[in-house]
Amino acid sequence: MKEISVEDLKTKIDQKDSFTLLDVRDPFELHISNLDYESITIPMDELSSRVDELDESQEIIVMCRSGSRSGTACEFLEKKGFSNVINLKGGINDWAKKIDPKLPVY
């Protein structure tokens, strides 16, 4: 599985690269901490029933709180035939520690 660091994701955002950010956290988590970037939110437990909402032709960067659920989501998407999925290593908590310390770590 491919992974991307929060620093590299920040670069992609700043350069306005084209990709889909998929957030697989639960709805309550979005109120705790969130990136200032447009994303598609599909909680992990809904991913199998909502996979058709994703565009296979796009690069998809998957995020969660720590990188664990997003890793599982990447594996699931790869099994479904998605070839360009990338796990955000360390998740939103790593982003909060290294990119935006105003965000809470939870």
7 neighbors 98 (Cβ within 8 angstroms): yes
Q: How far is CA 41 from CA 8, 52, 93, 98, in A?
A: 21, 13, 17, 23
Tell me how far apart the alpha carbons of residues 27 and 85 are, in angstroms, rounded to a whole number: 22
- Of 64, 74, 92, 96, the catalytic one is 64
**74 tagged catalytic:** no
Tell me the catalytic residues. 64
